[in-house]
Amino acid sequence: MVSVEFLGPIEIPTMQLEIGSLAELGEILRTIDESKKWLEVSAIAINDTLVDSLDIELKDGDRICLLPPVCGG
C-alpha cells in the first residue's frame, strides 16, 4: 500500500493505493477527471524526493506527492 498526496491547489483527498509502480499510478489518475487535468504540469516526489522517471518500483509504505507549478515570494 502506498499513499498519494495532492499538494497546493489540487483539491483531492489523499489516496491509499495497492500499486507497484508510478506507471500504474499514472493509469489510475488518468481515469479521474479531477486528477487528469493536473498530470501534465505536476511533478512527482517519492518520499520527498522529486523523480523524473516512471521506471521506479514502489515499496509498501512509500509516500507519493503530486506537486503542481510553484510560485513563492
Among 6, 42, 59, 62, binds another protein (CB under 8 A): 42
Q: Considering the complex, state which of residue 36 and residue 59 has its C-beta at the smaller distance from another protein.
A: 36
CB-based contacts of 39: which residues, under 8 Å, 6+ apart?
Answer: 26, 29, 30
Q: Does 54 bind another protein (CB under 8 A)?
A: yes
How far from the centroid of its chain's Cα atoms is residue 33's Cα?
15
Among 12, 15, 51, 62, binds another protein (CB under 8 A): 51
* Strands, sheet with 49-51, edge to edge from the N-terminal-most edge strand: 15-17, 2-6, 63-67, 43-46, 49-51
List residues near another protein by CB under 8 A. Answer: 7-9, 22, 25-26, 29-30, 39-45, 48-54, 65-73
